[in-house]
Structures are given as structure tokens and as C-alpha cells.
Amino acid sequence: MLETKADTPTLILDAAEQLVLEHGFAATSLDMILTEVSLTKGAFFHHFRSKAELGRALLERFAERDRALLDGVLARSGRLARDPLQRLFLVIGLLQEEALALTEPHPGCLMASYCYERQLFGDAVHAIIAETFVYWREQLGQLIHAAMAVRPPRREVSAADVADLLTSVSEGAFILSRATADPALLGRQLQQYRNYLELLFDEK
Amino acid sequence: MLETKADTPTLILDAAEQLVLEHGFAATSLDMILTEVSLTKGAFFHHFRSKAELGRALLERFAERDRALLDGVLARSGRLARDPLQRLFLVIGLLQEEALALTEPHPGCLMASYCYERQLFGDAVHAIIAETFVYWREQLGQLIHAAMAVRPPRREVSAADVADLLTSVSEGAFILSRATADPALLGRQLQQYRNYLELLFDEK
Amino acid sequence: MLETKADTPTLILDAAEQLVLEHGFAATSLDMILTEVSLTKGAFFHHFRSKAELGRALLERFAERDRALLDGVLARSGRLARDPLQRLFLVIGLLQEEALALTEPHPGCLMASYCYERQLFGDAVHAIIAETFVYWREQLGQLIHAAMAVRPPRREVSAADVADLLTSVSEGAFILSRATADPALLGRQLQQYRNYLELLFDEK
Amino acid sequence: MLETKADTPTLILDAAEQLVLEHGFAATSLDMILTEVSLTKGAFFHHFRSKAELGRALLERFAERDRALLDGVLARSGRLARDPLQRLFLVIGLLQEEALALTEPHPGCLMASYCYERQLFGDAVHAIIAETFVYWREQLGQLIHAAMAVRPPRREVSAADVADLLTSVSEGAFILSRATADPALLGRQLQQYRNYLELLFDEK
DNA sequence: ACAAGCGGGACTACCCGTTGTT
DNA sequence: AACAACGGGTAGTCCCGCTTGT
């Protein structure tokens, strides 16, 4: 049906992403990737100028999908509700749904991985990472801000900080989930985040 | 008095830790470390059997210090208060104090770094990481459990999950703080965690 | 009018010659050449069987032009004078004219370049180089021989050696001119050669 | 007797110089050199930071020896005669002696070789080449200048140009000698240079 | 306890040439 | 006639670890 005949660059990116999340970027050799997709160096360097460029392309694709994920849940929440507070909880709910579907620990976040190999990358890469984190802060922050207008929170908080907290909890849970080999951990941590929001916006 | 003339293994570990947190373990070559401390391979292999052993020693020292940090704040909180609820907020407060003292982004967590280079390490290393995260869950979890006995929380939560949340938020904030080059971010995120606890244990 | 739309092989040869004189043959990759002329491998291998064949074709064209240069000045000198001595000085003069027109150092001689990468080429190429140098020795040597018949030289010299000297001085001046970034050097060295001939054939 | 136990860098330089003069720098692989001296890459990179640095070291040693050759013949000529004109002819004579001793074509000049692979090297290398050629121009030029003071030449010439001519003739003869596989050619060309000087400084 | 030198292997980058297609 | 894609091989670089010596 969806005869998605994957093209070579995509095949390479797919294999690379998975390997990088397991080994780190530096320890992921081109040979490892190319063995995975049954190609040779010649093919690789026809599509990418260097390994560094592969790293950048990998991150760019990841960041785009990451923003698309947020855009998606924001859009869906908008179709299901008008009230910002309801929308906010819908957003968290949709993310929780995905977390609950995991049967093994979340594969992790490429941006976090790159952060722990910071010196390997140039400013262009650092900028993409920062922008993507800030995108969540701003997009989600707007919704939180709107919710705070509808219902004053029980603690004086910054919408940006509360938005960042979702990112923090997620990133931290990715790591913890992997370290303890517990696929359900992410869902439980997102539930804590939901608890926080519920208490924050509790009536009375 | 405290003329602690650092011995060679310690010098190596210090340089290595800083470099690994910036470059990742794979991309940190022995030459880089040894240049930093003005030593040669001969000296290194006299003290460490291999690079892998250095990695293990690095992690062990880090994990010990990490547990010691928790032991320390727990002990101090015990000297300042008896009530578990008060002690819990003291623990968070002491950790916040450290976060507020940062003038540049937190250097990060070696355990998180290793998680994103998982395949480079053996089960012995993975075990240390898991145990250290579980140590926080259990030690802090006990205190939270005691607090919940004193004052029933406004949401039904597991003490372990609430304890894990501190780890998640911290790990996530390390990454976010670095990515956005914002040293104060960690403190603000810990404040969100404190908010959560305050709302959870609010007396109506 | 003479809208000589250069054909592909010529375009390739032109770009290759310039690049080889700057980088040497080994360090001139096909990709470099093809980027220069905006073509791909497919086009190249349609016109040349291999890089080695390009090298041969390059040299052959160069050697032909080199012999044509000598033929040209010899023919022009023959139209301007009958006396071999006069013709000889006319030949040198015409070559000097070209040297004086240079605004940047002479691009160099492909045969000299190949001599310093001798092992890359086969006997066929070596033969072309030797024959071209010998062609100058013989053609110019004949004229010098005739001049010596007309006017006995003040030193007993071999016509072939005196002919070779023009090649030596030129080849050496190409190098010296480049090394010192002095476009006028070639002209000044040819003047020394002319001085030698003048003194050699001085009437007492 | 002179138990000259060659050290590793010297062994490498010796093998490299010979190979570079035959193949050119680009086409001389480290493997070729290291096979010749029975070493491995590990050993090479312990002594040289890169192939480029080898190239520089190679040239520096060559240039030093080249200047030492001139210094040597100038010094010997000074011990054998006082008169600059006599010294000048002694210098040429000593150089001719060396040329006549050759049983196979002169191995060539590294500086000329590098000139035909110009783009491979940086300005530091270009500077060394230019300085070395200029050294001959100045040192030999001084002697020629002194000779011209003693005996006015029969043509108005610049001492520098006459000095350069020796370099030109030599460099050109290296190439011609190789191309025609004629070891005696260099000696015969130097004889032409001597003829030129004799005629230039002829009495009457 | 540490330094110098070196072996052996891995990795990125690049290069030449071929194939299939338009 | 020309291009995109790719295979196979090789070059330069670097890295870990061992040996030998002081």
C-alpha cells in the first residue's frame, strides 16, 4: 500500500540514529552503519560529505520530528477542546499514551546524547539543539500561560519554567528508564508532572 | 595544612572526568588526558590496566561521591529537624543551595553520559549506574514515605516515583541547562520540584 | 565568427593541464578536474579510458604544441633572414618577446612536471618527453651548426650542447621564476643565453 | 669506524627523499616509505605529526644541505685563491667535478619537485624554497660582483642574473639529464656556463 | 614511578572506475 | 553524451597498549 521505497540517505539515517543512541556518536563508526544497511563507503560519501555532516543531518531530522510531535499533540488538543486548561491536560495525556505504549525503555533523545559529546560538534549543531528545547518552552509555555489566565495557579510560577519541567522530566526519565531497564518509568514520571499541574490548577 | 598533594591516579581521574563530560568517553583519548596532566602512556598504564578500567574507576568515584552527596544532605537534615516532612524540604533546600551557587551550567552527570554510550560498557558498569539511581530512590523514598505517614498527600502517589522525580528533574535540567547555556536553570527546575512537594503535602 | 565552441575533451584537457601544473599529476583528482568543468565521471570516462590515458593525452598535446612553437619561430626566422646566424638570434628574440609579455610567472612545463613524478608513467610517456627534448636539440642544433659554419665560434662547442642549453635555461627559469614569484625572470635568463651566443659568435 | 647508527627520523627522511624525487610527494605514500625502512605507521606518527610535516622536514634538510654545498665550495675556493675571478672559476670547477662523478642521472632537486606540486604545500614551505634560491643568488652574486670589479665584463650584466643562471642551468640540466637518461649532460651544461663566464671575462 | 619508542589495528576521507538510466 | 549511484581499495591519521630503559 504505502510502498515507501526508502531511499539510501534515509536508510543510512535510520540505521545511524539507532546506533548513535546506543553507542554515542563518536563510537558509531561508518562501518557499523554501512554494514547495517549493506552499503560501502563509496555510497556513503556520495550522499554525505563527511561524518560530521551525517551528524548534523541526523540531528536536524530528529529536531524536526521532535517539533512535529509537539505540533501534533497541540493541534489534536485544539480539535478536542477550546479551554486552554483542558487542552493542557489533553497534551500531557496524549504524551502519556505514547509512553504507556512502550514495551522497552525509550530509545532516548539525540539532543541529550549530543549534549554529552558537546565538543564533537560545532556551533551550528548546538544552535539547533537550543532552538528545539526553546521551541517546546515557548509553544507549551503559551498554552500554560493561557491556562494560568483562565485559572490562577496556586503557586506563583513562570509558564516557561513549568514548560521546561516537562522537558526536564522527560529527558531525565529517558535516562532513568534505560539505566533501570524499566519501560514503564517514563509513564510514571509523566504522571508526576500531570499531578503537579493538577495541584497547581486545583480549584480551591 | 591541607597540603593535599594530589597523587597521580587522582590527577588522571580529575582530568579524565572533566574531559569525558565534554567529549564523551569514546572521544576522550588517553593522549588528551595525558597531555592535560603532562604524563605519558607509561605512567598511565602503570596505574590503570586499560582505558576500560579507567572508565570504571571514573564511574565508581563519581557514584560514591553522588551517594555521599545524598548521605550528606540527609544527615544534615536529620541534625536540623526530626519531622520527616521538614527534613524532606530541608533536603531539597540544601540541594537548591548548591544549584544556586553555580556560575556556569552544571558539568553534568557521568552516569547519564555513560547511558548514552551504553554499548561501550559492560554489565559491571551498568550495575553501578542502576544501583546508584536506586540508592536515591530508596533513601529519599524512605524519607518521603515517612512524610506521607505524617501528612497524607493530596494525590495518591508512590514514594519511589516521587523520589525518582528528583533524579529525573535533575538529570533533565543538567541537559537543558547546558543546551541553553543557562546556569540558573537547574535551580529553577528544582524549585518546581519543591512546588510539587509543597502542593502535595499542602494542608488543604 | 571563429565561434569555436570548445568540445568536451578539450575542456577537460584545458582544466587538467592547469591543475596538473599546480598540483602535480598524482594530486590532481578527476573530481577536481570535473568540478572545474562541471561534468561527472560518466562524461569523463566516455572520452578517456582512464586517468593514465588523460595523462598521456595531456602530454601529447603539450609536446605537439611545444614542437609547434619551435617550428613556428624557426619558420618565421626563415622568412625574415637567410643567414643562419641572423636566424639564430631571431629565434632567441622571438622567444624573448613571449617571455617579456608574461605578467605572472610562466605556468611551467608539463614535461618537467612529469619528470618529477617519473614512476607514475610508463615508457610510452617517457619516450614522448625524451623525443620532444631531442627535437629541440636537433632542430635548433642544425641552425647552430649552420651558424658555426658561417662564423667559427670563439670556443670549441658542440651544437647539441648549445641547443640543450636553451632548454636547460628555460626549464630552470620556469622553476626559479615560480619559486621567487618573479614573472620577468625568464626574460632575463633568456637574455643571458643570448649574451652567451653573442660572445660565442663575436667577430673578434 | 664512523659507526653512524642512524636514528629513526633520519632513516625515514632518507627513504622519503629518494622516493619523493622519483614519485613526487603526493604519490609517495607513507606505506611506501615505511616498508622501505621496516617500520609501522605507529612509529612514523611518533616522530612526525603529519605527512605535511615530513614534507617540511624533508625540504628543510635538503635546503640546508644545498646551502652547505655552496658554502663548502665557496670556502674551498677561498683557501685556493684570493682573486675573485679565479675563485669564481674554482667554484664552477668544483661543481663540475661533482657532476662528472655521476654514473647515473642526477637524482634531482627537491625544491624543483615541490614547485611542480606547489598547491600541496603552505607558505612556510614556499618561503624556504625562495630563500634557498635567493641564497645562491646573493652568495654567488657577491663573488661575481667582486670579479666584475676586478675585470670589467664584455657585456653589461647583472651579477644576480649571472648567479641565477647557474641555478637555472643546473635545474634545467637535472630535468634534461633524467629525461634523456644521460648522466653526463649536467657536466656538459655546466661547461657551457663556464664558457659563458670565460667569454664574459675574456681579456680583450 | 615514569619516559621513549614502537606495533598493530581501526577510522574517516577520498579516489578511480563501473553500471544502469535517461 | 552525460548523470546518479555505487563498489572496492587505499591513504593519512590516530589510538590503545606493550616493551624497554632509567
Query: Considering only residues 92 to 131 of chain D, which have any Cβ-Cβ distance to chain C shorter than 8 Å?
Result: 108, 111-113, 115-120, 126, 129-130
Q: Under the phi-then-psi rule, with left for phi > 0, alpha for psi from -120 to 50, and beta for the rest, what region is A48?
A: beta
Alpha-helical (H) ranges within A38-81 are: 41-47, 51-80
CA distances from A45 to A14, A27, A48, A49, B12 (A): 16, 19, 5, 6, 38
- Whether A4 shows a pLDDT value over 70: the answer reads no
A84-88, A132-136, A138-142, C4-8: lowest mean pLDDT where? C4-8
pLDDT of D2: 44
* Res. A3 pLDDT band, cuts 50 70 90: very low
Orientation angle between helical segments B123-150 and B84-100, nearest 10 degrees: 130
Q: Mean pLDDT over residues A64-88, rounded?
A: 97
> How far apart are the CA of A162 and the nearest CA of chain B, in angstroms?
7
Say whether pLDDT at B1 is over 60.
no
Residue A200 and residue B154: Cα distance in Å, rounded?
Answer: 12
Average pLDDT over residues B131-143: 98
Q: What is the pLDDT of residues B80-92, one digit of tens each?
A: 999 999 999 999 9
Residue D168 has pLDDT above 50, yes or no: yes
For the cut 50, the answer to whether the pLDDT of residue D201 exceeds it is yes
**Structural contact between residues A63 and A158, judged by C-beta atoms closer than 8 angstroms:** no
The pLDDT of residue A2 is above 60: no
Q: Which of D117, D179, D195 sits opposite C157 (nearest CB)?
A: D195
Percent of chain A with pLDDT over 90: 96
Overall average pLDDT of the B29-37 stretch: 96
Q: Is the pLDDT of residue D9 over 80?
A: yes
Q: What is the DSSP string of B138-168?
A: HHHHHHHHHHHHHS--SS---HHHHHHHHHH
Confidence bin at B6 (pLDDT 50/70/90): confident
List CB contacts (< 8 A) between A133 and chain B.
176, 179-180
- Provide the pLDDT confidence category of residue A1 given band limits of 50, 70 and 90: very low
Tell me the pLDDT band of A204, cut-offs 50, 70 and 90.
Answer: low
CB atoms near residue A46 (< 10 Å): 12
Name which of A146, A182, A177, A185 is nearest A162 in CA terms. Answer: A146
- Chain B residues near residue A113 by CB distance under 8 angstroms: 116
Residue C204 confidence (pLDDT): 64
How far apart CA B87 and CA D36 sit, in angstroms, is 74
Q: Residues of A numbered 142-181 whose beta carbons fall under 8 angstroms of chain B's beta carbons: which are they?
A: 154-155, 157-158, 161-162, 164-165, 167-173, 175-176, 178-181
Which residues of chain C fall below pLDDT 50? 1-2
Q: What is the pTM of this model?
A: 0.92
Q: Are C144 and C163 spatial neighbours (Cβ–Cβ below 8 Å)?
A: yes
Share of chain D above pLDDT 70, in %: 97
Is the pLDDT at A19 greater than 70? The verdict is yes
Asked whether at least 3 C-beta pairs link D and C within 8 Å, the reply is yes
Q: How confident is the model at residue C124, as a pLDDT?
A: 97
pLDDT of residue D4: 52
Burial, A192: exposed, middle or buried (Cβ in 10 Å; 0-12, 13-18, 19+)? buried
Of all protein residues, which has its CA closest to the C1' atom of F19?
A: B42
| Residues C136 and D134: beta-carbon distance below 8 Å | no
Q: Smallest CA–CA separation between B162 and chain A, in Å?
A: 7
Cα–Cα distance measured from residue D141 to residue A128, given in angstroms and rounded to the nearest whole number: 63
Residue B26 has its nearest CB partner, among A26, A154, A202, at A26
Angstrom distance (rounded) from CA A197 to CA A201 = 6
Residue C15 CA to its chain's centroid (Å): 18
Q: How many CB pairs under 8 A join A and B?
A: 173
- Kindly list the distances between the CA atom of residue B22 and the CA atoms of A22, A117, B47, B113, D50, in Å, as whole numbers in the listed order: 18, 6, 23, 9, 26
Q: For B61, list phi and psi in degrees, rounded to 5.
A: -60, -40
Cross-chain residue pair A130–B180, CB shorter than 8 Å? yes
Q: Are D140 and D170 in contact (CB under 8 A)?
A: no
C-alpha distances out from residue A130 to A6, A125, B70, B180, D55, Å: 30, 9, 30, 5, 43
Helical H segments across chain C, by residue range: 8-23, 30-37, 41-47, 51-80, 84-100, 110-115, 123-150, 159-179, 185-200
Report if CB B39 to strand E is under 7 Å: yes
The pLDDT value given to residue B2: 45
Q: Taking residues D39-57, what's their average pLDDT?
A: 97
pLDDT tens digit string along B16-32? Answer: 999 999 999 999 999 99
End-to-end alpha carbon distance in chain C: 54
In the predicted structure, residue B173 carries a pLDDT above the cut 80: yes
Q: What is the average per-residue pLDDT within B42-56? A: 96
Q: What is the pLDDT of residue C6?
A: 79
Please give residues of chain A from 160 to 199 whose alpha-adjacent beta carbon (CB) lies under 7 Å from any atom of strand E: none
| Residue C23 near residue D26, CB atoms below 8 Å | yes
**Across A163-184, average pLDDT:** 98
pLDDT digits (tens, 9 = 90+) for D62-118: 999 999 999 999 999 999 999 999 999 999 999 999 999 999 999 999 999 999 999
Handedness of CA C5, C11, C13, C14 (dihedral sign): positive
**Residue listed under C-alpha cell 658542440:** C158
Whole-angstrom distance, CA of residue B188 vs CA of residue A162? 9
Closest CA to D168 of B95, C175, B5: C175
For residue B119, pLDDT over 70 is answered with yes
* A137 to chain B: closest CA residue: B176
Whether D35 has its CB under 8 Å from any CB of chain C: the answer is: no
